[in-house]
Structure 1
Amino acid sequence: MDTPKSQTKEKPSYLAKKRDRFLAMWKHPIYRKILWFNGLLVSLVLLGTFGYMLLEGWSFFDSLYMTIITLATIGYGETHPLGDSGRLYTMLLILFGSGVMVYSITGFITSLLEGDIRKALKKMTIERAISELNQHIIICGNSQTGKYAIDELKKTKQKFVVIDNDPARLEKIDSPQILCLQGDATDESVLISAGVERATGLITTLHHDADNLFVVLTARGLNPNIRIIAKAVEESSLKKLKQVGADSVVMPNIIGGLRMVSEMVRPSVVTFLDMMLGMSNQTIRVEELQIPSGSPVIGKTLADLHILHEPDVSLVAILPASGGAHQFNPPAQTQLIALDTLILIGDASRIANLNKRLGL
């Protein structure tokens, strides 16, 4: 498949990455606070050192040593005999310098004990990991619907980011491997922080249809090639969501009603479908693998690739690149061409291995 233009941007250089990380750190109040405390201490030591050098004519090292023992109130004694100006300067350094030092150290320890530094470091780590993602999926809203989408993406080992405005809902995601971003998904800057310009898909499951509509509109403007799936509660929202750029709209109420009827009239089929939709402990899935342009499997037959004999995997159909009807139960001599899509059913890990083996 041709790579979208939004996903073929030139990778930033090493220096550009370092610059961006520094700027990102500077945006965090906790880092500015730490820099402020450290800056006060360094400025105080340098001020004391240069003061002794100017007033007493000492060397830099002797002046630095005198400044440190004075601020630390250790009382080792004077490095060299002090004149009246030097003693007055030492008294001022003790009175004001000790207060500044206590303020800086206390502020740093308080931030450490309150967990501000730990939280800031965690946030920085997550933002760095998100910035390195490419061709991932964005989940907007850890709602009841979003929770099942997150579980399924986790089971199938997809790369994804979760956005939610409520920190309490994000804390319910107990997996440290899941990247979470706190913020309003309707905000363009938040979507950019989640890497929407590099993402292949977005699922919005916010509680209100108007919010989902705004997310779709914003995401489509930022990445025209992204695939967007939106949740809708009201039937009137379905057409609007598609008009602003949603590729597909899912209505939980309609699906719920159809499911109840299916449970009544075809329970065995429902059990089988549940197994494939991840509603059981088994990891049986229906997956699709598209043959990209330039793939080494182009021109080869299913028999050549041994796809029909893959353990725990069945090839159900092929969707031709021409967009015609699905070819169910394709024969072994079927020749693959670019942009053909294979529809497979079987163990998720086995399908992933097949994908890797074919280099798709």
Structure 2
Amino acid sequence: MDASGRRLRAAILLLLATLLVGVAGYQLLEGWSALDALYMTVITLATVGYGETHPLSSAGRVFTIALIMTGVGVLTYGVTAATAFVVEGTLTNLIGRRKMEAEIRKLCDHIILCGIGETGRHIAEELSKTHVPFVVIDNDSDRIKSLEKIGRLLSIAGDATQDDILLRARILQAKGLIAALPQDRDNVFVVLTARALNPNLRIVSKAIGPESQPKLAKAGADATVSTPVIGAMRMASELIRPTVVSFLDTMLRADGGSVRIEEVTLPPRSTLVGRKLREAAIYEQTGLLVMAIGKGQVYEFNPSPEFQLQEGDGLIVCCSPEQLARLRALAVAA
């Protein structure tokens, strides 16, 4: 809860405490019933001037003076706190937070991104550009807010190593998780927790130290990515094969930066299963050329038109999100 929210809560508590003191005071000093004492307290604090419920004793009048002075201060503080709560956007943020939580509860087959530091920020941009549904988890609300320049993202402020936070992110319904926290030990904890909650989840983790990769694999990560190694390979490629690097960069920036190399796996009942590649008419229906076909760790690069498609084949193509959607629709057609 932010400062304005805490001030508003304090004001409400002070008001309730003043009401209780007023009721108790009139009951003890004047012997009134609870209803009469409450009525007198309310009209005194509200300064509406309806007059005394019953004639007051001297002690009762002194108590009323003190109650009025205290009540005016409490009400003034409450109005100030309530105004700040609305003006500073806390109320709007609260409504937006509840709306976001409702959207998160509807997620299915999504990605959970844990950590939005330097690495996580670029991952969020990539997922957003390619229209992949995802939810961000980070314990720094300011970092989450800084992602607004990317667009409106679903997010949860909390510790990704905690079961309840991952469950709020619907880990049981997710298809994948990315552990991109700045420390390897934190990523190990995230992987362990996520794997225990969802054994079928595909988990990819960032790894900084080379000694962390086998530990992450034992913890349950399906794949690890060493950011120092990837950076070093990119630097070498810029010198050795600059045209290829330039092509890939252009591809990433083309059409709003949404063109990617993607894969679509053929399900058992797909109408493409059993057909030759030329009979599948993939190019005619989607505008895509199949660059390679993979199954497990075996790949057929530049497959011929006579290649026969089988269940479980992964079609690897270079496409936009719209073309990918058309290919997926074609592949799952039964």
Q: 1:128 to 1:39 in 2, by over 3 A?
A: farther
| 3-state DSSP of counterpart to 2:267 | coil
**TM-score for the superposition, normalised by structure 1:** 0.69
CA distance in 2, matches of 1:125, 1:35: 25
* Unpaired runs of at least 5, structure 1: 1-27, 48-54, 57-62
RMSD: 4.2
- Other-structure match for 1:248: 223
| 2:113 paired with 1:113 | no
| 2:314 paired with 1:341 | yes
Percent identity at matched positions?
A: 32
Q: 1:128 to 1:34 in 2, by over 3 A?
A: farther
| 2:147 paired with 1:147 | no
CA distance in 1, matches of 2:245, 2:288: 20
Larger mean CA deviation between 117-126 and 345-354 belongs to 117-126
Q: 1:333 to 1:263 in 2, by over 3 A?
A: closer
| 3-state DSSP of counterpart to 1:110 | helix
Larger mean CA deviation between 33-42 and 122-131 belongs to 33-42
- Other-structure match for 1:137: 111
CA-to-partner distance for each residue in 1:182-201, whole Å, 9 max, x for gaps? 22223333222322222211
Larger mean CA deviation between 199-208 and 340-349 belongs to 340-349
CA distance in 1, matches of 2:18, 2:271: 64
CA distance in 1, matches of 2:297, 2:225: 25
Equivalent position to 2:138, from 144, 151, 164 = 164
| 2:204 paired with 1:233 | no
Preserved contact between residue 318 and residue 330 of structure 1 (Cα < 8 Å): no
- Other-structure match for 1:22: none
CA distance in 1, matches of 2:53, 2:75: 28
Partner letter of residue 106 of structure 2?
E
| 3-state DSSP of counterpart to 2:187 | helix
Preserved contact between residue 272 and residue 331 of structure 2 (Cα < 8 Å): no
Equivalences, count: 318
Q: 1:232 to 1:103 in 2, by over 3 A?
A: same
CA distance in 2, matches of 1:254, 1:355: 33
Structure 1 residues 8-87: aligned runs within 5 Å: 72-75=46-49, 84=55
- Other-structure match for 1:189: 164
CA distance in 1, matches of 2:95, 2:10: 14
- Other-structure match for 1:287: 262
Q: 1:31 to 1:67 in 2, by over 3 A?
A: closer
- Other-structure match for 1:262: 237
- Other-structure match for 1:7: none
Q: By how many angstroms is 1:224 displaced?
A: 1.0
**TM-score for the superposition, normalised by structure 2:** 0.74
Structure 1 residues 88-99: aligned runs within 5 Å: 96=67
- Other-structure match for 1:19: none
Q: By how many angstroms is 1:150 displaced?
A: 0.9
Partner letter of residue 261 of structure 1?
A
- Other-structure match for 1:218: 193
Partner letter of residue 81 of structure 2?
T
Q: By how many angstroms is 1:241 displaced?
A: 1.1
- Other-structure match for 2:29: none
CA distance in 2, matches of 1:43, 1:300: 79
Equivalent position to 2:153, from 165, 178, 181 = 178
CA-to-partner distance for each residue in 1:105-158, whole Å, 9 max, x for gaps? 743651451444344333333333222212211112112221211111010001
* Unpaired runs of at least 5, structure 2: 25-31
Equivalent position to 1:199, from 174, 177, 194 = 174
| 3-state DSSP of counterpart to 2:148 | coil
CA distance in 1, matches of 2:310, 2:14: 65
Q: 1:134 to 1:111 in 2, by over 3 A?
A: farther
| 3-state DSSP of counterpart to 1:174 | helix
Partner letter of residue 147 of structure 2?
I
CA distance in 2, matches of 1:292, 1:108: 62
